[in-house]
């Protein structure tokens, strides 16, 4: 592993890792009863407990030295000041401007982008008030009851996750639907579920060139126009667009006055704070959306101004790096103990894996160390009854974040208490494990025979020493959710610096898209036109033969 560190720090970390890798987390807890106070941060409505990590004060002190080596402070300022840190696309990275609630200007090429941000927010506000107060009517005079966001990736996952997470704040008169997949089933099922005369379609696409989104939007448009007996004028009242590409929006047939703009300095996966969040605004209202922005702004200020030893996203980043690059952990788990946060793992998957799934460093060379982890997860307690077995007794080390609200939106009986009991118990079990001695004593109490005990003993012991972070959040509100998401965004940024990669491009998604264009041509013409390997050729030919037989 050759992470770009000074030889002194690289050696110190390597040596420290060797020493610590043979120490069990149980021992660390036994030898220091103050770990919790030492390794937890209270911030606003958050408690971030990172004491169940394989770390000591020395680990943190060494890891913190990384922030100096990668010039973290300078790089944070570069981002906040609008420098072109996305150097392969020559763009600033300014999602922080979208939620800048201070009066501070942010300049790109001498232009204060805050003026543009405010203008679009005002337009979103006016529009959402029109929709929610039923002033805006569909072509036949009906109020809007269904919002359909058509988008994919960053133009889908953020709004989809946030509207689900903030269901308790949603307008009961409005249903929000999401269509992303090119699979016709996706759009078809949504079209079946809505009444077209009271539906607003939001075509969300940064580039307005994404095949899936445009195809789905065309299908929806055709369905709407047919519904209104071929009257294309109906589109005006039922379609709006969110994009950076005005020309393409116009070409699609959406009047630019019904377009909500954003800018190339907003990365797709960082765009829920922009007009891409329009479906969120229509559902939860502008005041709540502004709270979401405010929560993110608070986290931005925390990230920018807090010493790194008390800085939540910095500590998150350093711990992820510690496990990936020293312990060889290849994946990272996200386990929200809150059903409303069920889409958070999906959302973070794009954020992490599209940002830091890179193997070329800033100097254009292939790295020889591990970069971004494979991120995955599911809400608790469901996960406990499926994949947690592997976490407890499998051969992989999977560091994880456990996230839960203290107060639930649905205080029914003792559900929340049981939910949280499971959260705490799982992190404890992962950390402690169960020794042979403990397993033996348990079985002895059950009066099992010595032979049975001997046979079952290895199966009933748990190695423990599985690290986790715990986030306890007072309540999931627009504000706390905004902060939580921003913490993850910043942690990804810090990790990108540690790995010396560009976290803000995504060239890796292009090759498949290019090949799909060719194959699509072949499938629609019913014949092979390009060179393929024998597997791909075989698949295409088999499909064409079967499709001809069946349709
Ligand atoms: O293909 C990946 C990607 O470019 C993502 O980065 C992006 O969020 C998504 O596609 C959608 O792109 P657009 O908003 O331009 O339709």
Q: How far is the CA of 152 from the centre of ligand 1 (A)?
A: 6
Cα distances (Å, whole numbers) of residue 469 to 163, 272, 527: 25, 25, 54
Mutate to test the pocket of ligand 1, among 88, 149, 152, 180 (most ligand atoms within 8 A of CB): 152
Query: Which residue ranges have their beta carbon within 6 Å of ligand 1?
Result: 152-155, 205-207, 210, 213, 268-269, 354, 506, 509
Q: How far is the CA of 549 from the centre of ligand 1 (A)?
A: 36
Q: How far is the CA of 210 from the centre of ligand 1 (A)?
A: 7
Closest among 160, 277, 155, 255 to 209, alpha carbons compared: 155
Enter the DSSP assignment of 274: T
Q: Do 138 and 194 touch, CB atoms closer than 8 A?
A: no
| 3-state SS record for 53-114 | CCCCHHHHHHHHHHHHHCCHHHHHHHHHCCCCCECCCCECCCHHHHCCCCCCCCEECCEEHH
Q: Is 545 a catalytic residue?
A: no
Half-sphere exposure at residue 424, Cβ-oriented, CA atoms within 13 angstroms: 8
Lowest mean pLDDT among 48-52, 415-419, 545-549: 545-549
Give the chain's largest Cα–Cα span: 82
Whether 21 shows a pLDDT value over 60: the answer reads: yes
Residue of 212, 290, 291, 354 marked active site: 354
Nearest alpha carbon, ligand 1 atom 3: 153
Q: Do 365 and 356 touch, CB atoms closer than 8 A?
A: no
Q: So what's the pLDDT on residue 2? A: 57
Whether 1 shows a pLDDT value over 60: the answer reads: no
Nearest alpha carbon, ligand 1 atom 1: 509
Mutate to test the pocket of ligand 1, among 214, 268, 277, 354 (most ligand atoms within 8 A of CB): 268
Residue of 385, 445, 459, 549 marked active site: 385
CB atoms within 10 A of CB 306: 15
**pLDDT (tens digit, 9 = 90+) per residue, 383-430?**
999 999 999 999 999 999 999 999 999 999 999 999 999 999 999 999
**pLDDT (tens digit, 9 = 90+) per residue, 289-315?**
999 999 999 999 999 999 999 999 999
Q: Is 354 a catalytic residue?
A: yes
Cα gap 363→404, rounded to integer Å:
40
**pLDDT (tens digit, 9 = 90+) per residue, 84-94?**
999 999 999 99
CB atoms within 10 A of CB 230: 8
Whole-prediction pTM = 0.97
Q: Is 416 a catalytic residue?
A: no
């Amino acid at each position: 592993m050759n992470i770009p560190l000074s030889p002194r720090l690289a050696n110190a970390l390597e040596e420290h890792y060797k020493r610590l890798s043979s120490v069990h987390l149980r021992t660390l807890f036994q030898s220091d009863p103050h770990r919790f106070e030492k390794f937890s941060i209270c911030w606003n409505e958050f408690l971030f407990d990172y004491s169940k990590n394989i770390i000591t004060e020395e680990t943190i002190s060494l890891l913190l030295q990384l922030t100096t080596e990668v010039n973290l402070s300078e790089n944070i300022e570069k981002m906040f000041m609008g420098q072109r840190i996305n150097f392969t696309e020559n763009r600033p990275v300014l999602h922080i401007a979208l939620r800048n609630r201070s009066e501070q200007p942010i300049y790109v090429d001498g232009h204060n982008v805050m003026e543009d941000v405010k203008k679009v927010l005002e337009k979103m506000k006016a529009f959402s008030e029109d929709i929610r107060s039923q002033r805006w009517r569909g072509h036949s005079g009906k109020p809007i009851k269904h919002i359909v966001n058509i988008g994919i990736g960053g133009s889908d996952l953020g709004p989809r996750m946030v509207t689900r997470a903030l269901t308790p704040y949603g307008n009961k008169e409005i249903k929000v639907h999401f269509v992303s997949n090119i699979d016709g089933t996706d759009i078809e099922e949504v079209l079946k579920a809505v009444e077209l005369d009271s539906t607003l379609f939001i075509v969300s696409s940064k580039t307005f060139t994404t095949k899936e989104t445009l195809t789905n939007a065309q299908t929806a448009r055709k369905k709407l126009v047919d519904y209104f007996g071929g009257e294309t004028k109906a589109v005006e009242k039922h379609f709006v667009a969110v994009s950076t590409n005005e020309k393409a929006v116009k070409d699609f047939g959406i009047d630019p006055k019904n377009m909500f703009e954003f800018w190339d300095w907003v990365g797709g996966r960082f765009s829920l704070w922009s007009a891409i969040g329009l479906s969120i605004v229509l559902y939860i209202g502008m005041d709540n959306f502004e709270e979401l922005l405010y929560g993110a702004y608070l986290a931005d200020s925390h990230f920018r101004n807090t010493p790194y030893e008390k800085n939540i996203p910095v500590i998150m980043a350093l711990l992820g790096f510690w496990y990936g690059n020293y312990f060889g952990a290849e994946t990272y788990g996200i386990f929200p103990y809150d059903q409303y946060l069920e889409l958070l793992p999906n959302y973070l998957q794009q954020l992490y894996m599209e940002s830091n799934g890179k193997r070329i460093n800033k100097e254009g060379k292939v790295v020889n160390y591990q970069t971004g982890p494979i991120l995955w997860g599911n809400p608790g307690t469901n996960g406990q009854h499926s994949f947690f077995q592997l976490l407890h007794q499998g051969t992989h080390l999977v560091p994880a974040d456990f996230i839960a609200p203290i107060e639930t939106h649905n205080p029914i009986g003792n559900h929340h208490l049981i939910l949280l009991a499971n959260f705490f118990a799982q992190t404890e079990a992962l950390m402690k494990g169960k020794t042979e001695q403990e397993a033996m004593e348990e079985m002895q109490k059950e009066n099992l025979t010595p032979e049975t005990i001997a046979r079952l003993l290895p199966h009933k012991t748990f190695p423990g020493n599985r690290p986790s972070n715990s986030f306890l959040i007072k309540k999931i509100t627009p504000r706390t959710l905004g902060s939580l998401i921003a913490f993850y965004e910043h942690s990804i940024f810090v990790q990108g610096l540690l790995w010396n990669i560009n976290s803000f491009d995504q060239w890796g998604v292009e090759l498949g898209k290019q090949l799909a264009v060719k194959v699509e041509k072949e499938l629609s013409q019913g014949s092979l036109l390009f060179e393929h390997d024998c597997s791909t050729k075989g698949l295409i030919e088999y499909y064409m033969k079967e499709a001809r037989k069946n349709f």
